[in-house]
Structure 1
């Protein structure tokens, strides 16, 4: 079975700006609610500590209980705080995705080496935008290892992850900002992929030689 490479495609400048504007707009709306949830979380944790302290003062035997289960109680209090945060923020986040019309996800390029060339499929979500096969000569001329780009017809695919740093201006590059989910396990470096493809071709040549040897 042929190996496959799934490569995230960087947003165009227009797509990047649209995504950044959407993410910043969401942040402005959600930030007050995030502050409220942090305050609620602190209240839950502090109140838990106060209640436990009062019980310990009133019931001396409770100290032994706390020494055994104190850590578990703190974990439960922290878990409750996290659940409260999720119950408040997550529904708002989903509603804002619909109200503010979440931008399209990035494109994904799938490459599969074959005997005749490299089969490609460019998609966005579940929709296939284009597909075809580049023969090996066309593949060599289509790939720019220095810039990590692939030229497919009139389209230039810049391969890379769309990160917070690549999407937002410097003053908005916060860890909580929205970014596309791009789950890729294989290498996204075209230099590495091209080297692997050359190895694939060599293995095909070896198989052909073995077949010819057995046929003699």
Structure 2
């Protein structure tokens, strides 16, 4: 690549930035939405995986195994393109959010389950001896400690979701990657817009990593 080509690439990346940054809220909205919806669902799945009922454990384990064992792109296709054959039609935003939420919930459930299991059983027994019921023990004793253990993995899940939102571009959602593709369709210069999109993903992920480290230090001081 000579100097002139490099200048063209940099100019293309710079001129595409306003359009790409305009699509960034969509990317962040998908990631945060899937995280906020995936957390309670993941918590319920984690509790199901810890249930004493065999059929509950079995169904929840099957769900986690299926989601973790299939590509997210295939899950998006099944939800957006497959469900209409069953009479369920979703718009691109709803289809993308549902797919990302179901995917995130499976991974979050394993994080939450492992965090709950990391709390010594003796603490639960001590809480019971003090007259706390199972719900109070979970809410007051187990979950505050489990949250500290789970924080790094949950933060990594959010960072992964930011990058995974690029996959909803295949169902015409105009997020960051799709916005870059639309710019390329107008300019016929792919390197600059794709480079700019990659730098934005990197910047957002790096910022989230900084926030993660701050939260981890704060939680560790509070422990």
TM-score w.r.t. length of structure 2? 0.33
User: Which structure carries more helix by proportion?
Assistant: 2
TM-score w.r.t. length of structure 1? 0.34
Q: Which has the higher contact order (CA 8 A, sep 6+)?
A: 2
